[in-house]
Chain A
Amino acid sequence: MRELDKEIVVSTISRLCLEANTNLPLDVAKAINHAKDNEVSACGRDVLTQISRNIDIAREQHMPLCQDTGAAVFFVELGRDVHLNFDLEEAINEGVRDGYTQGYLRKSMVRDPLKRVNTNDNTPAIIYLKSVAGEKLKVTFAPKGGGTENMSTLKLLMPYAGEEAVKEFIIDTVKQAGPNPCPPVIVGVGIGGTFEKAAYLAKEALLRPFDIVHSDPYYANMEQELLERINALGIGPMGLGGRTTALRVLINVFPCHIASLPVAVNMQCHCARHLEHEI
């Protein structure tokens, strides 16, 4: 059994908040540069050039990539041989409070969805906890902006609707969103599970590194086909027209009920921030 110190968790979370908001993952930055070199629309190329320059400026000057530094979403894997003598959720919130204040990040959370008063420290965090083997604590931080989150969708399809209906729902989500979620987007898809599990799967799908192909060739092909069909929509960078509407389609699947076919689409802007750390 390994005893973990609260201070280490708090300072790790705090550092993740600042780091993830100023330094875009390399695979995402590479995909943006690749798109910039291949985009056929002049306006689209200009948008991608600005996005690419923004990534460099943010990294060099430790400035937030986007003013929407997001809701603080955490995927936590807690090793079964780790002992904590403190409340993990409380420690994560303390880290968020510290990171968002010290890091001059924007506080975007309101205490109540209808009364709408800002909590002023970006807490509470949204935390998903999983118990795993081992004596490590792995934390993945993925701040999520409001603009793209607002364009996300969920539908409970009839099982007989089948593959094409699932694909059409995903493509239609991107089409209806148009310029709003800051394309080029990354399309996170959850298929299966229950109502809320599908949404979770879609969000978790967004964490997959770009160079990792889906382990099931059936879904790897579907991701590729969807990417091509989405990029044929013509929406383009920031919706101003072009062939780069999405950088990736990432699908997560899970078994589901005989009567159900849930599909969730979690839209992610090009500023696809996420960072993990193992303690």
Chain B
Amino acid sequence: MMKRITTPLTTEVISTLNCGEQVLLSGIIYTARDSAHKRLTDSIKKGEEIPFNLQGQIIYYVGPTPARPGQVIGSAGPTTSTRMDEYAPLLMEHGLKGMIGKGKRNESVRKSIQAHQAVYFAAVGGAAALISQSIISAKVLAYPELGPEAIYQLEVKDFPVTVVNDVYGRDMYEEGIAKYKI
């Protein structure tokens, strides 16, 4: 039986998540890629208000395909998280609790995850049509001019993700290799 968790995330829930664990995620999450991250962090640095309150929230690194008429959203798999490493620590400082993407995080992000009691999840890259089935509503929240890079507010139900970096400083990418290397 897979663990089910709901957003917003609390420190208590995050403390129960362990590296390598598969989780089904439900609730509201926000999308942002490179350009949106740049704008969000620029606004924070200038002391301006940002489009949503980061407290306890999760950002999903995705730029979906356009929805066809009648669709909630197009295909929506994760993009490479490494490109957001530059911006993630500041967002965690301001309350962000979770990130969903794919690929390695740098040392600074991994330290921030521990320092701010957050978590990094991986979704399956290239499983975009499958993942879109767990998105039950989607609306553009900010930066519509960025097209696929706009910030969307998504409601997800049982979105399958795996814990990669937990609050205990563990990293599934390192542990997986250690276990299966010949």
Contacts and interface: CB of A to CB of B under 8 A. Distances in A.
Given A147-B79, A239-B103, A240-B172, A106 B65 contact: yes
A41 B133 contact: no
B176 A51 contact: no
Nearest to A62: B68
Interface string A123-151: 00000000000000000000000110010
A103 B80 CA distance: 24
Contacts of A67: 62-65, 74-77, 79, 128, 148
Given A41-B176, A179-B103, A234 B181 contact: yes
B130 A106 contact: no
A118 interface: yes
Most B-side CB within 10 Å, residue of A66, A118, A243: A66
Contacts of A108: 63, 148
Contacts of A179: 102-104, 122, 173
B125 A104 contact: no
B127 interface: yes
A57 B181 contact: no
A84 interface: no
A236 B75 CA distance: 24
Contacts of B153: none
Contact of A63 (B75, B176, B177): B75
A271 B124 CA distance: 12
A170 interface: no
Interface stretch (A7-15, A42-50, A155-163, A214-222): A42-50
Q: DSSP majority for the A interface? A: loop
Interface string A57-95: 110010111111100000000000000000000000000
A269 B129 contact: no
Contacts, number: 160
Nearest to A105: B65
Interface residues of A, number: 47
B129 A43 contact: no
A270 B122 CA distance: 16
Contacts of B22: 43, 46
A146 B34 CA distance: 13
B167 to A, nearest CB: 19
Contact of B179 (A63, A68, A234): A234
B130 A57 contact: yes
Contact of B177 (A50, A107, A241): A241
Contacts of B62: 67
A178 interface: yes
B74 A63 contact: yes
Contacts of B178: 234, 241
Given A53-B127, A67-B63, A106-B74, 7 more contacts: A41-B180, A178-B103, A178-B104, A178-B173, A178-B177, A242-B180, A269-B126
Interface of B: 20, 22, 62-68, 74-77, 79-80, 82, 102-104, 122, 124-133, 147-148, 160, 162, 164, 172-173, 175-182
13 contacts: A53-B127, A54-B124, A54-B126, A64-B65, A66-B77, A66-B128, A108-B63, A182-B126, A233-B177, A234-B178, A234-B180, A235-B176, A239-B102
